[in-house]
Amino acid sequence: MHAFTSIAGTTRTPRRILVFLATAVMAMCVTAAPLTSPAHAADTVDRGLFGTQDPTYDGVYRQSYALMSLAAADIAAPPTALQWLLDQQCANGAFIAYRADLDEPCPEGSPADSVSTSLALEALEAVPGTEPEQRAATRWLARQIAPCGAPDAEKYGVRYQPGSLPDGISSTQALLGLGNAFPVTPTTQRKAAPRVTCTAQGKPDNPTAAVTRWIASTLTANGGSIPDPFTPGQADWNSTALGVVGLAATRTSGRATQLAMQSLEANAADYVFDGTADRPAALGTLLLATISTGADPEDFGGIDLPRRLLATLQK
- In a domain, residue 191? The reply is yes
- In a domain, residue 96? The reply is no
Confidence (pLDDT) at 185: 87
- In a domain, residue 82? The reply is no
- In a domain, residue 206? The reply is yes
List the alpha helices (DSSP H) in the chain: 15-28, 38-41, 59-72, 79-88, 114-125, 131-143, 168-178, 207-221, 237-250, 254-272, 280-293, 305-311
9: left (phi over 0), alpha (psi -120 to 50) or beta: left
Domain count of the fold of the chain: 1
| Bigger pLDDT: 8 vs 119 | 119
Structural domain span for residue 215: 171-309
- In a domain, residue 266? The reply is yes
pLDDT greater than 80 at residue 116: yes
Confidence (pLDDT) at 23: 52
SS3 assignment, position 32: coil
- In a domain, residue 127? The reply is no
Distance of CA 101 to the CA centre of its chain: 27
Residue 204: strand pairing partners: 198
Helix axes 15-28, 280-293, angle to 10 degrees: 140
- In a domain, residue 143? The reply is no
- In a domain, residue 209? The reply is yes
Band of residue 35 on the pLDDT scale cut at 50, 70, 90: very low
Nearest C-alpha neighbor of 135 from the set 168, 100, 167, 94? 94
Confidence (pLDDT) at 162: 86
Give the pLDDT confidence of 134-171 residue by residue, as tens digits. 999 999 999 999 999 999 999 999 999 888 999 999 99
Cis omega (within 30 of 0) on the bond before 151? no
